[in-house]
Amino acid sequence: MGSKNKLKRFKDNEVFDNVVQPTRSEIVDETYAYKGKWKQEFFKNDNPLILELGCGKGEYTVGLAKRNPDSNFLGIDIKGARFWRGAKTALEEDMPNVGFLRTQIELVDQVFAEGEVDEIWITFPDPQIKWKRTKHRMTNPDFLDKYKKILTKDGLIHLKTDSEFMHGYTLGILEGLGHDIIYAHHDIYVNHQAPEEVVGIQTFYEQQYLDKKKSITYLKFRLKP
């Protein structure tokens, strides 16, 4: 993507009413206006709030929102030029249940109040395979603690990835900590009973993985209290 195109997308994001871009200090100082009020103040309703962490182009955020018009979907990513596509599509298709938040994922427990989120999707995260990158894996125990804080008591987490390493690592963490693994499959597209929302939505990069015959894995789990 050229620098001019990026600049245009950054400018668009500033005026898109479905995009919010708080400063880091607003979040860290806990002065961010939407914390604890995302449903009422941003989406203007009391419907369930579902996050896509590391949303990229926003394909999953938009795809899930189309299938579930009575839920609110918020894609989160630090790279605004990427989720611009999802934000623009949602505006063009008049989807008031879609929003995008530009911030770091590690701040997620400071952007949302305790028990404010009903569900989390993690789609194709960087597996951070090197040992020194363990702290950046989005399903490590520290991140799970952040998710537990903002999720409702029965809140669900979904992990969809092309990385067998990430799938296996997460399974090991969940089993070791005694969390509730609801569904697990190492090659979701060969499972004829796979959930429609898992196989019915494909991201740009996922399509490339499938063209290369890469297996796509999926986990659904619930964190113990």
Q: Is 92 exposed, middle or buried (0-12, 13-18, 19+ CB in 10 A)?
A: exposed
Residue 50 CA to residue 64 CA, distance in Å, equals 9
Place of tokens 């990430």: 166
Q: Is 197 exposed, middle or buried (0-12, 13-18, 19+ CB in 10 A)?
A: middle
The values of phi and psi at residue 173, to 5°, are -65, -45
Residue 57 CA to residue 205 CA, distance in Å, equals 10
For residue 25, what is the enclosing H or E element? helix 24-28
In the set 12, 17, 94, 126, the catalytic residue is 126
CA 74 to chain centre: 8
CB 73 within 8 A of CB 99: yes
- Annotated catalytic, 126? yes
CB 120 within 8 A of CB 71: no
Contacts of 150 (CB under 8 A, 6+ apart): 108, 109, 112, 113, 114, 115, 116, 117
Positions annotated as catalytic residues are 126
